[in-house]
Structure 1
Amino acid sequence: MADHTDPRRSDTSRFPDPVYKETVLRPLFDGAKTHHAAGFGRIDRAHLVMLAETGILPRPVAARIARALADISREVDPATLVYTGEVEDFFFLVEKELKQRLGPDEGGRLHTARSRNDIDHTLFKLSLKERLDGLLEKCRALLAALIDTADREKATLIVAYTHGQPAQPTTLGHYLSAAIEILIRDMERIEAARGIVNLSSMGAAAITTSGFPIDRARVAQLLGFAAPQRNSYSCIAAVDYTTASYSALELMFLHLGRLIQDFQFWTAFEVGQLYVPNALVQISSIMPQKRNPVPIEHMRHLSSQTMARARVMLDIMHNTPFTDMNDSEGESQGAGYEAFDCAGRVLDLMASFIGAVRVDPERVATNIRRSCITITELADTLVRREGLSFRQAHEIAADVARAVVAAGSDLETGGYAPFRAAFAEATGNETGLSEQTFREIVSPGYFVSVRDRFGGPAPEPMAEALAQYRAAHDGFAARARAEAQREEEAARDLDTCFQALVGAA
């Protein structure tokens, strides 16, 4: 017969279930002690200072709690802790230590007017801020390397490709400038995400704040946040601080991955316009002639891993309820931190790579000659100097290119005769361009020099662009310094106030 006994009366099990302990509680505890122990300590101290300053806790009580927290910090090394199941998680371990030292009454008073809900999200924001700051520091190093290389190579000719085919000559500096602009926008997205992270959840308690006269702004300031997040429900339910951070991270490495693909193509033997120095080349174990620029492959797959790990965070948050939930908490946050670890490796390697590689001018010159990629300027010049329509000029230029390629020649040395013939056939007139003028027009240096419009590769727009990029880099650095200084001042304020409690009678 079925047992119809009320299971609540017959339940003799004790928490934690051993399987639950090993599959969930132990990993969560280990993640907390690895990633968040310092954050827990900061939150405890800031909350305690606020409770004392507002009079919610009598100062003598707050002083005894402060001394106990200082003792715990000095005597308990989180790295040595092993989860036993005696308490639910790291938070309760600290509370258990307080109760053992102060008794159950005073030991439990630190938790007045707060919850694990607001504590957890504040912890995750503290950790994310630290990682975003580290990421932006590495981004600034890459940005500086890109700007320096673009400046150094602003007159260095390369072949620009479209659809995998040689298209037009430009300079390496001009090409890298395009990457610089994208990186600046990506860094701005990271900064914007950090602005969302930089709002404290403390004081929201479980959902609706508290009936105690707490000072949320004071706790936010002591913890180094810009301000408290306004809506208390949002503090514990809105995970856009997570999704904004990982969305921005994913986009950054999607964009860097495209740049890396070009590096791979440009270093191929058949193209060869980018030379990778020996320090960044590995030799085949069986084919002694091979120079394998494998750092490019590592940048590519690590960028893909970064993207994938960032995307995981967005997928985890997808279709979750708008409330406090474990989906957004400990283990998910820990999984996301791996994206930052991977990202840092790519940024370091790319900054080093960008500064080390050089263009092979002989291969570039050969590829330009073989591909007739300066022919566009011939068509443009015919419009400006001969008064032709662009369509007619384009057809003449196409005939010249076909004739040069068929003859195995190049535009500068073998293009003038086919040009005169094509021009006469198309217009019924002789061209006014001399052979010397023709050769100048189809030279790659001339091609670049006349493209002096805003955003072009000629010296004047490049100089203006590089100045703007350096200003952007300096702006990122200045904002980082100002934020670091503000947080250092907050940390000193917290330490001063907490130590005053420790020393209080």
Structure 2
Amino acid sequence: MTAATGRLTTSVAPAVAEILFERHLRAPEDPVAAELRPTSQVDRAHVVMLAEQGIVDAAVAGRLLAGIEELRAADFTPLRRLPAPRGRYLAYEGHLVEQLGAETGGVLHSGRSRNDLNATVLRLQLRSPYDRLLAECDTLGRALTAGARRWPTTVMPAYTHHQPAVPITYGHYLAGVAAALVRDLDQLEHAGRELDENPLGAGAVGGTSLPIDSHRTTELLGFTSPLSNSLHAVASRDVVLRLLAACTVLGVLLTRVAHDLQSWTSTENGLLHLPDDLVGSSSMMPQKRNPFLLENVQGKAASALGALTAATTAMSTARYTNAIAVGTEAVGHVWSALTATTDAVVLLRLMAEGAEPRPDLMLRRATEGQTSATALAERLVVAGVPFRTAHHEVGDISREAAERGRPFEEMAAERLTGRPAELLAGLDPASVARAATAGGGPGTAGVLAAADDATGRLGTLRAAATARRERWAAAEKTLTSAVTTLISRSAA
């Protein structure tokens, strides 16, 4: 990739190149392994449990597990040549029967259906992309709070209706975005709690008469509890809808922030400057510095909404029982949406980390935008003037200042001659922003407190994600140990 274009001196950041230019060039994920590795993981837990419950002889279970381990070690290569007219799982099970005999391979599906198997496999498959999304949101949150602490006094206008409104600080803006992100991340964490519930044991829809132990497979697969109702276990994929809904809400935040950054990095505004590795040039126009990543953020952040609409529509066509429309068609939309949302989070984080405010220009815009007007009206209220009267009087000052090309503060001093001196003291935007301490305003202490609050909440969510990840890893070790023990005993 060319490092320079003339106008730009570097190539894009490596993370940007990976997301936008390189990932699609690599071979896609192997669909056989993507399906059969989590499937065989469930099989390992299921067979261990069958042996421990005395449903299957321990020696038979050991030989069956050895056959499964052999396939996993070979990355399921023997299955890649086999036809799968009724799906990969039945081809996989058929291979085990053929290789190990019906007395061994044929016991694999005891007390189980593809219905509860598929519901369980989905949860295992969702773990990695879900965990990555949470981790990237946490990283974005830390970038935002770091920015809030770095620029708590960098005065700029807050905008409403695309017009300067009141003075805030860039740190105040970033702390506000962090607060919203924490709320969205909390909803993502809540949406994913169903991933911790184990549907294995529900069978086709009505459970099983075999004395299986769902609590044991729950432990071996890293879940927290088995689902208590077999119908719910196989009929529902609501976790997909909840994840997509949470991603959709998060995507709205990402898109709105991207809109702000687009405006503030434009040549006309120029409130923020982006480094060369976060902008692009033009193939024809050599002067261009395009913040194109923000358009990618907007496009990728919208993916979840489309997926939610499609998944919801597919599920609404099915009755409340196991259904292909639910378990296959609706679920198929979640993967690309999780990837796109995670990419949007990463790209926005890079922009938040790389954007540098231009304090002098920000302050000038706040001054020229007469952002101190509301503070003056409030001071008149303190002096005993009814707010609506004060609003009208200050509005008249604002109009005259604009018409005469005079600074607002000078016009106010001229028009309010004879009023108490403290009415006009400290009426510059920086002083007004510092004084706005009530209602979560941009006063420095408030900005830092908001950043600390967001940091604390992020830490709580991060600890929960870490505990979940450790539980998954511990379960993997426990399961592997149980599998190894049974295989060793069968070989003795």
TM-score for both structures, normalised by structure 1: 0.87
CA contact 1:305–1:339 (8 Å) conserved in 2: yes
| Matches for 1:104-143 after TM superposition, within 5 Å | 104-143=102-141
Q: Please, which moves more after superposition, 408-417 or 61-70?
A: 408-417
* Residues 1:444 and 2:423 are matched in the alignment: no
CA shift for structure 1 position 187: 0.9
SS of match in other structure, 1:291 = coil
Letter in 2 for 1:405: A
Q: Which of 453, 459, 465 is residue 438 of structure 2 equivalent to?
A: 453
Any stretches of 5+ residues in structure 2 without a counterpart?
1-28
Match in the other structure for 2:97: 99
* Residues 1:56 and 2:55 are matched in the alignment: yes
| Matches for 1:347-426 after TM superposition, within 5 Å | 347-384=345-382, 386-420=383-417
Match in the other structure for 2:421: 433
SS of match in other structure, 1:41 = helix
Match in the other structure for 1:503: 488
1-side partners of 2:268 and 2:205: how far apart? Answer: 63
CA contact 2:254–2:348 (8 Å) conserved in 1: no
1-side partners of 2:448 and 2:421: how far apart? Answer: 32
CA RMSD of superposed structures (Å): 2.0
Q: Which of 458, 468, 474 is residue 489 of structure 1 equivalent to?
A: 474
Match in the other structure for 1:301: 299
1-side partners of 2:77 and 2:308: how far apart? Answer: 28
Match in the other structure for 2:21: none
Per-residue displacement from partner, 1:358-394 (whole Å, max 9, x unpaired)?
Answer: 112232233223221111111111222x321212221
| Matches for 1:149-188 after TM superposition, within 5 Å | 149-188=147-186
CA contact 2:116–2:203 (8 Å) conserved in 1: yes
Larger radius of gyration: 1
2-side partners of 1:74 and 1:364: how far apart? Answer: 60
CA shift for structure 1 position 80: 7.8
Match in the other structure for 1:23: none
CA contact 1:377–1:441 (8 Å) conserved in 2: no
CA shift for structure 1 position 119: 0.1
Larger RCO: 1 or 2 (CA < 8 Å, sep 6+): 2
CA contact 1:254–1:307 (8 Å) conserved in 2: no
Q: What is the aligned residue count?
A: 462
Over 3 Å counting, the alpha-carbon distance change for 1:283 and 1:62 in structure 2 is closer
CA shift for structure 1 position 277: 2.1
Letter in 2 for 1:379: A
Per-residue displacement from partner, 1:430-474 (whole Å, max 9, x unpaired)?
Answer: 32227xx62x43201111111112412102222222211111111
Letter in 1 for 2:477: R
SS of match in other structure, 1:36 = helix
Letter in 1 for 2:483: F
CA shift for structure 1 position 490: 0.8
1-side partners of 2:481 and 2:281: how far apart? Answer: 58
Letter in 1 for 2:222: G
Over 3 Å counting, the alpha-carbon distance change for 1:364 and 1:503 in structure 2 is same
Over 3 Å counting, the alpha-carbon distance change for 1:299 and 1:432 in structure 2 is same
1-side partners of 2:464 and 2:227: how far apart? Answer: 21
Match in the other structure for 1:3: none
* Residues 1:471 and 2:469 are matched in the alignment: no
1-side partners of 2:312 and 2:60: how far apart? Answer: 44
SS of match in other structure, 2:367 = helix
Letter in 1 for 2:469: A
Per-residue displacement from partner, 1:190-234 (whole Å, max 9, x unpaired)?
Answer: 111111121011000111111111001111111111111111110
CA shift for structure 1 position 419: 3.7
1-side partners of 2:128 and 2:281: how far apart? Answer: 39
Per-residue displacement from partner, 1:18-44 (whole Å, max 9, x unpaired)?
Answer: xxxxxxxxxxxx985253221111111
Match in the other structure for 1:40: 39
Q: Please, which moves more after superposition, 130-139 or 455-464?
A: 455-464
CA contact 2:258–2:294 (8 Å) conserved in 1: yes
2-side partners of 1:309 and 1:249: how far apart? Answer: 10
Identical residues among aligned pairs (%): 28
Letter in 1 for 2:420: G
CA shift for structure 1 position 175: 1.3
SS of match in other structure, 1:322 = coil
Q: Which of 212, 232, 235 is residue 234 of structure 1 equivalent to?
A: 232
Letter in 1 for 2:69: A
Over 3 Å counting, the alpha-carbon distance change for 1:34 and 1:249 in structure 2 is farther
1-side partners of 2:55 and 2:76: how far apart? Answer: 30
Letter in 2 for 1:60: A
